[in-house]
Amino acid sequence: MPLRSSHEVHDHLYSLNIIRKVVATFRRDIAAEAAARGLLVRPVDWPAHARLAAARVAFDAGATIDPDALLGLLPEVNPGLTLLAAEAAERAGTIGRAAALLAGLDAAIAADRVLSGLAKRYLKDVPRRRIRLLNDMGEVAEARRIAAEAAARFPTDEGFAALAKGSI
């Protein structure tokens, strides 16, 4: 069953309370629960997803991949695809492009009812990567601004507050 989620689908289903509903009685249909939350992807372009998986494998093996070619693989916002494109841009030395891709992904996730329900550790990873890239580019003030925004979104994460103050 294809879902609009990250690679941490299990955590996403837990955060949306779907797993608990299904395992409480083992009589609920997980597909129906996922559909009710807008998680199902239909129709699925399996060959495009296979190309994405192959690109991930090639990238992990050291290949250089064009971020824009990656983004053309799937028409919808796909967090894993966008993260891979950002990693590819960073590897290619276009750190500003990588940071911009992460900024777009962060905004897309925040605006999407389904994606904004991803597991918090996944949601936090996008601004963390963005902050690191901004610092690498010498954009310290912007990195601190993003850290302050993340600290407001995730108030129990002391790391973002420390980054916003510049103490890390």
The per-residue pLDDT for range 45-84, each reduced to its tens digit, is 889 889 999 999 999 999 999 999 999 988 777 888 999 9
Tell me: the pLDDT tens digits for 106-148?
A: 999 999 988 888 888 889 999 999 999 999 999 999 999 999 9
Hey, CA dihedral for 56, 57, 62, 64, is it positive or negative?
Answer: negative
CA separation for the pair 8, 11 (Å, rounded): 6
Q: Does pLDDT of 7 surpass 60? A: no
Q: What is the mean pLDDT of the chain?
A: 88
Q: Any residues with CB less than 8 A from the CB of 75 and at least 6 apart, and which?
A: none
Buried b (16+ CB within 10 A) or exposed e, 138-155: ebeebbbebbeebbeebe
For the whole model, what pTM was predicted?
Answer: 0.82
Domains of the chain: 1-44 (no CATH), 46-165 (1.25.40)
Instruction: Name every residue whose Cβ is closer than 8 Å to that of residue 52 and which is 6 or more positions away in sequence.
Output: 70, 73, 74, 78, 80, 81, 84
Residue 97 has pLDDT above 70, yes or no: yes
The predicted model gives 79-103 an average pLDDT of 96
The conformation of residue 65, written as its DSSP 8-state character, comes to -
